[in-house]
Amino acid sequence: MNVLLTYISMTGRNKKIAEYLADYLEKKDVEVTLEQIVDTDAFELPTYDAVIVETYTYNDGEVPDEAKDFYDDLADVDLKRTKFAVLGSSSKAHIHFGRAVDYFTMALNSSNSEQVADSVKIDQDPDEDDFKRVERLGDYVIKSLK
Ligand SMILES: Cc1cc2nc3c(=O)[nH]c(=O)nc-3n(C[C@H](O)[C@H](O)[C@H](O)COP(=O)(O)O)c2cc1C
């Protein structure tokens, strides 16, 4: 099973979480491609068994600017054979907490992909419980591919 974990991070939180999740999946013998959303071609997603998208939220509940091309392209990709999960650190200090996680969740559902874990929103820096939620998301992705 090959999984793409693609993330966007401005101040490093989502990078750290993505690296943690990639390590966790690799320890469970999953082949993981870890890359940034700016380097991801949405049209390559059907070549993966599953895609995990990780994003922060910016500007009153928006998808980050640098992720918008990828986000827009999802509307033109058919992902009926690719499962997905979404997560992201954002901040409860802003309105529309983690709204970009919701946008990606909706976009991937609209692309015929099957959501295999509840989307995970993390408030700023992840604590121990958040890392457990991240691991559980990884477990659901693995389970869906067996
Ligand atoms: C200018 C600005 C706008 C933001 N807007 C939102 C927002 O609308 N909703 C939200 O949940 N978080 C918002 N955030 C918080 C970031 O999503 C949060 O700090 C996140 O953890 C950053 O992740 P990163 O360290 O991976 O870049 C905003 C942050 C900044 C600096």
Residue reference for tokens 């993505």: 18
**Owning domain of residue 95:** 2-145
- The answer, yes or no, to whether residue 1 has pLDDT greater than 90, is no
**Ligand 1 probe mutation, 56, 65, 101, most atoms within 8 A of CB:** 56
Give me the CATH number covering residue 73.
Answer: 3.40.50.360
Answer yes or no: is the C-beta of 97 below 6 A from any ligand 1 atom.
Answer: yes
Determine if ligand 1 sits within 6 Å of the CB of residue 125: no
The percent of residues in the chain predicted with pLDDT above 90, rounded, is 99
53-93 pLDDT, tens digit per residue, is 999 999 999 999 999 999 999 999 999 999 999 999 999 99
Q: What is the pLDDT averaged over residues 4-22?
A: 98
| Ligand 1 atom at minimal distance to the Cα of residue 16 | 26
**Which residues, 6 or more positions from 126, have their beta carbon under 8 angstroms from its beta carbon?**
13, 16, 17, 20, 89, 134
Ligand 1 centroid – CA 35 distance (Å): 20
Q: Which two tokens stand for residue 104?
A: 């990606």
| Domains: count for the chain | 1
Taking only the tens place, the pLDDT of each residue in 115-134 is 999 999 999 999 999 999 99
- Please give the distance, rounded to the nearest whole angstrom, from the Cα atom of residue 72 to the centre of ligand 1: 20
**What does the pLDDT read at residue 72?**
98
Residues 6 or more apart whose CB falls under 8 angstroms from that of 73 comprise 41, 42, 43
Mean pLDDT of the chain: 98
Its pTM surpasses 0.95: yes
Q: Of the candidates 28, 72, 29, 21, which has an alpha carbon nearest to the alpha carbon of residue 51?
A: 21
